[in-house]
Amino acid sequence: MDFSRRSGPADFPGLARYDEVASGQINHALRFTLQSSQAAFIPPASHWAANSTNALAAPMGMRLRLKASVDISSFSTANQVILNALKKYGMIMADNGSSMYISGAPDDNWNNSDLHNLGSITAADFEVIQMTPLYTAANIPTGANPSIASFTANSQLVSAGTPVMLSWNVTGASYVIVSPGVGAVRGTSVSVMPTQSTTYTLYVTNAFGRSTATINITVH
């Protein structure tokens, strides 16, 4: 396993963030890459970027979870936060790249030397927990992307630490994510507490594709 404090734009908001690790808890699956992928995907992925014809190559959206039996007691407190998230929520293949490479949001507070200790965790320490429904060229569904009628906040100008209620009205979505800091959600609203001005993005996905909407919350 490898980890970087630098990353490009992510399709799936599953980046590990330093503020989450510092808080002691990551409450969502993490994004990871593999070197090879086939022409197939599993929701919440909605596409493939195949670079291999090997039937054993992974499909986009494949979800792995760190086995409960893996002993993480020797790792630092920060790394245990990451590993506990991998045990509870797992990680979702989101792109081609270095194998078993977890993506992290850039932050100068990361301790790269410590993060490299995660390299002792290998693919054998994980179990596959989601391989259905598997869509290929033979059975790829056709239909409309989910639609977003509204994505609003009860206030867009707040003091630091003030709760803000984000609400949305969507149709045709099978998977809803709010980023940053929230992750996958159920229902039609969620409370956030920004400490700095933040752009929140609503991702709604179904088997046919993904739609997004954003809202800016200004903290003064």
pLDDT digits (tens, 9 = 90+) for 84-94: 999 999 999 98
Structure tokens at 49: 């970027």
pLDDT digits (tens, 9 = 90+) for 115-174: 999 999 999 999 999 888 899 999 988 889 999 999 999 999 999 989 999 999 999 998
DSSP for 20-65? HHHHT---SPEEEEES-EEEEE-TT----------TTSEEET-EEE
d(CA 156, CA 179): 16
pLDDT for the residue numbered 13: 64
Task: Of 177, 153, 180, 183, give the one whose Cα is nearest residue 165.
Answer: 153
Q: Does domain 147-219 have CATH number 3.50.50.60?
A: no
pTM of the model: 0.72
d(CA 14, CA 51): 22
pLDDT digits (tens, 9 = 90+) for 188-209: 999 999 999 999 999 998 878 8
pLDDT at 104 over 80: yes
Show me where the domains of the chain are located: 2-136, 147-219
